[in-house]
Chain A
């Protein structure tokens, strides 16, 4: 994953009716989506039995954020071509994020049985390790759906041991550690990805998030333990985790200045640092307006706006 990684925030309706925003990472910026969509739909109407163009259509729906249609198309692809493990895993992840965890588990289990039954003509040790690592990874995904994060950590750890060069295992391990609140372990997993590819935006964003979580915990614990007169000395700038997070954010902004995720985190960071009044406040507002212009109807945009006004109000009271 390089600096060219394109990210997109899509809004999704969960089965409960709640709307959530999802981070989507793509290899490159999608072009002429509507035209592609028309062409693919027309082609599939003419050749309904094929699966390759249907897979392209499903991928297009996925990239456009039309996940319900993407799920329908992926399911049809899997019916026609059950050996496509990568498609099954993608569908499983989509269902998991759509809060349809039972269906996701079923899909993961199907792919697990496929992977475990894979046969090789001349298997090498690397093949066997890779196959086992994939199985552990899928087990980890199943445990996440079941909310067994500890078991998921074990599964992903085993996968990383068997296949240490594969960034997907490290990313999954880091994410689940983040969910468990083990931010130090999460950072260590993401750092392994950076060791292999230092410009990996996804890993950098995750490291930033983990550092911010650590900073928040540190600040809250300091506020609780210190005496009232000492609380005044606990400023945001002397928080070492926030300082490190700022360094990582600067790195992200240098690598991908137009990335939504980077922009969102920049606004968030500036609000957190109370850069909401005067000249700095003006700059934060400009960034916020830019974000809202790019993503006019996203929940994250509204949340950011609300957070900005909240921090502005707080600082004016002071």
Chain B
């Protein structure tokens, strides 16, 4: 039985390589459909698995794969040695792309802007839940800014909190303008990732913070920190001028008794 299956597989494989692929390479569309039908069931099964068992998504993926194969296969058929592997890899890549698109769509529908609009709409009748959520987001963003390394945090605060220009920031921090651009970009990327965590509800720190805030133990401290943290950073960078070790420099001599 096993021998028979192997023989049939081998015959399909040799049929493809010897007959169908050269014809597809020459532009014979009937040959393409013959080849496609040989593997369609197999690819459908794979699609269903890769799309998490969702029949609609699997069919969507398979139809895209069909179109893509129709378009690209004639180009590569001449060099191809294993059409099944080629089709499987291409279909897998398409399924991954579909997953990515779904994720991006999910983020776009639940980003900060839409939340802000939602909050603005409900500003007149602000429910306790939305107030907590808004406060939670504020604390989370501040936590994110605080967790940035100082090299990224300082330019970010100068830009957004003090609304200084890039040129002024460069002068103040004795950096080049390009360096400031780069640091702001890195800080933004970091915060973007950080906020993604928040929206994916995988945030343990936030839960801890909220717990403290809701129990009222750290609320006042947090608020005062929020008001002062940016000033503290500026102070540190501009006024740390007197170095302790340099002050300690002195001549070495013996202090022995005569």
Contacts and interface: CB of A to CB of B under 8 A. Distances in A.
B85 interface: no
Kindly list the 5 A-B residue pairs having the minimum CB-CB distance in the complex, ordered from nearest: A21-B252, A85-B241, A168-B242, A25-B245, A168-B247
B255 A25 contact: no
B2 interface: no
Contacts, number: 110
Interface stretch (A127-135, A248-256, A285-293): A127-135
Interface string B107-122: 0000000000000000
Interface of A: 1, 5, 9, 20-27, 81, 83-86, 89-90, 93-94, 97, 111, 115, 118, 120-122, 124, 126-127, 130-131, 134, 137, 166-169, 171-172, 175, 202, 209, 212-213, 215-216, 219-220, 264, 268, 271-272, 300, 303-304, 307
26 contacts: A9-B252, A20-B251, A21-B252, A22-B251, A22-B252, A23-B250, A24-B249, A84-B174, A86-B243, A89-B246, A94-B249, A124-B231, A124-B235, A126-B235, A127-B235, A166-B242, A168-B243, A171-B244, A171-B247, A171-B248, A175-B247, A202-B248, A212-B255, A216-B257, A220-B258, A300-B254
A169 B231 CA distance: 23
A172 B247 contact: yes
Contacts of B247: 93, 168, 171-172, 175
B94 interface: no
A5 B257 CA distance: 28
Contact of A175 (B174, B250, B254): B250
Which of B240, B248, B253, B257 has the most chain A CB atoms closer than 10 A to its own CB?
B248
Nearest to B249: A93
Interface in B211-234: 231, 234
B162 interface: yes
Contacts of A86: 240-243
A77 to B, nearest CB: 11
Q: How large is the interface on B (under 10, 10 to 19, 20 to 34, 35 or more residues)?
A: 20 to 34
Contacts of B242: 86, 89, 134, 137, 166, 168-169
A185 B170 CA distance: 44
B75 to A, nearest CB: 47
B251 A21 contact: yes
Interface in B40-68: none
A268 B241 contact: no
B246 A93 contact: yes
Contacts of A25: 245, 248-249
Given A84-B174, A89-B243, A134-B241, A21 B253 contact: yes
B255 A213 contact: yes
A172 B250 CA distance: 11
A257 to B, nearest CB: 19
A1 B252 contact: no
Contacts of A216: 255, 257-258
B37 interface: no
Given A9-B252, A202-B245, 20 more contacts: A23-B250, A85-B241, A86-B243, A89-B241, A89-B246, A97-B251, A111-B241, A121-B162, A121-B234, A127-B235, A168-B242, A171-B244, A171-B247, A175-B250, A209-B255, A212-B255, A216-B255, A220-B258, A268-B256, A307-B254
